[in-house]
Amino acid sequence: MAKQDNILKSPLVRLVIYLVALTPLIMLREFAPSSETSYLSIAEEAMCDNHTWCMYSNGEPYTDNPPLYFWIIMMVERIAGEASTPMALAFFSLIPAFIIVSAFGNWCRESIKKTSYRGAAEITLMSTAWFLGSAVALSMEMLFTMFVTLAMVIFWRFYLNKNSLADKWLFGICVLAAMLTKGPIGLLLPLAGILVFLALDHNFNMARKVWGWRTWVVLICGCAIWWISTAGEGGPGYLKEMLLQQTI
């Protein structure tokens, strides 16, 4: 029994157990026609019409979500083939979930000294209904959550003064990737979360360090490429609907 307990203390072993437990669920379940299959249809239409930045659903502009997740769908379909795309695409929710669990475990290691308690915290997260459901769904929610989580982990390294030069660039890249996944909430969530935390901590000087010029260079340059390319492909009307109507 002691040997088994030691084996289960390994995060890698636990992730393999989660993978073995969840893979049959991914393989056997029906995909939701209202969302999951519609994403596949939108990506298929984009490939047929040679669209990269602008997405359409049955010929109508689809501005509900940015293009990153649809790029992933198109990449998976070209590599795995149309028949295997739903199965392969499920791992772009499951793997981000595992990355979040790993980041959560590393975070807990700093404040929870007892190994069994850290394992319990990890299992609690992994068995939470919303988290588990998003981990096996064909959607961008878990991918978005991964980018925001990584951004917050990098912020925590800033807060502890353990950040590297690469972190100053990676923070902006994670926020930009979150924006490309779910739109402006990808910026608002880490921005509001960090500012509220630092306000309660009376440490606004840290905000200038985290949201420094490197972060804004990444965000401004990335958004400029995204928006200019969108306007060039879909016209000003598509860009207006994406930035104004959908944002509001």
* pTM score: 0.89
Q: What pLDDT sits at residue 1? A: 45
Backbone region of residue 112 per phi and psi (left: phi > 0; alpha: psi in -120 to 50; beta: other values): beta
CA 207 from centroid of its chain's CA atoms = 23
Amino acid at 167: D
Smallest Cα–Cα separation from 132: which of 10, 29, 39, 8? 29
- Mean pLDDT of the region 38-43: 90
Q: List, for residues 152-209, the tens digit of each pLDDT value.
A: 999 999 999 998 999 999 999 999 999 999 999 999 999 999 999 999 998 888 998 9
Task: Using the predicted structure, report yes or no on whether residue 68 has a pLDDT greater than 90.
Answer: yes
- Mean pLDDT of the region 58-64: 91
Q: List, for residues 218-244, the tens digit of each pLDDT value.
A: 999 999 999 999 999 999 999 999 988
Distance set, CA 244 to CA 21, 83, 104, 184, 239 (Å):
43, 37, 35, 11, 8
Amino acid at 24: P
